[in-house]
Amino acid sequence: MNDSLTVNLGPRSYPIQFGTDLTGEVRAQVAALATEGRRVAVITDANVVRAQGGGLGAMFGGSPTLALAAGEETKSLAGLGQALDFLAAQRLGRNDVLFAVGGGVIGDLGGFAAASYLRGLAFYQVPTTLLAMVDSSVGGKTGINLKAGKNLVGAFHQPRGVFIATGLLGTLPPREFAAGCAEVIKTGLLGDAELFTRLERASLTVRSGDLAAVVRRCCALKARVVEADEFETAKEGGRALLNLGHTFGHAIEQATGYGEYLHGEAVAVGLAAAARLSHRLGLLATGEIARIEAVLAAHALPVRLRAPLPLASLMAAMARDKKVRAGRLRFVVLKALGEAVTRDDVDPALAEACFREVGAV
């Protein structure tokens, strides 16, 4: 049974469609655009072509398609250049449309290419990984990484629609599924205590009977947060709460060159560090740190660095984080399991101590 919810942003509102297989729905959208005289182009990656090549053909027919290399390294200036050159080579006009079909890298990169080319093309998200389904495909944050830091270049550019077909997860490698679970766990921690309890009770797997319901639940929470603070301008809380674990996690990704940890793996270590910071601030009990780390471990996620990283490199990366305001880092910390707040009064020495506890040297 297909389902949908709307991200309510006035003239930028759009539907998120849910189902096991949405091939027909995507094909119908492409046909409707063609009827309006609007051309379609597709950006995806080599892994999607390999695992879902038949599905791409069924959805998009002979639409021009660019398949980029898979991996976080593609979310770069070079990858953006490839995407923009592709759009220009197809001679797309401002009335034409881009579909981003893939995980978070393709969604972020494709969305930013759409935001940039001709000062803005319409685009649709077709996420193919759990992480993209529950997080990155919703909310309109697009961008790329620089050597200096994660997501330092980007734009807010809302999609015109999101198609979430959970049947696509059947071909997802276990490590990628686990990485997506990090964002599900994050969602429970920041605003859905019942979801966190459900994840404690039984690990989420591709065979879980409630997988589709969990995905929808995550999207609904993110939609509510985005609706209230679309451009992340709230002085406290707001959309910044979605960065729980990410201030630490992004520093880990940057310090390791974006290739060693999947985004969700770095976020998992970041959640463990954020839990420890919350404890040091007097907000969480030691037992709650243990609960968080147990859920992460049960979902095949790391809670410590796989190999020691220099503390100086991690803190330097953190200082370049895009969440720095007036020279102060904003951390997302937990008041309780299921309730997060932002803090900009954290002594950097506390962050250093938390990094050491998860394996920095």
Residue 1, both tokens: 């049974």
Nearest alpha carbon to residue 150 among 270, 309, 320 = 320
Name 308's Cβ contacts closer than 8 Å, sequence gap at least 6.
359, 360, 361
Q: What's the 3-state SS for 87-129?
A: HHHCCCCCCCEEEEEECHHHHHHHHHHHHHHHHCCEEEEEECC
Q: Within a 10 A sphere around the Cβ of 211, how many other Cβ atoms?
A: 18
Contact 214, 224 (CB under 8 A): no
Is-contact 278 284, C-beta < 8 A? yes
Q: What's the number of CA atoms in the CB half-sphere (13 Å) around residue 196?
A: 19
Report d(CA 225, CA 159) in Å as an integer: 16
The residues carrying an active-site annotation are 119, 141, 183, 222, 236, 239, 243, 246, 250, 263
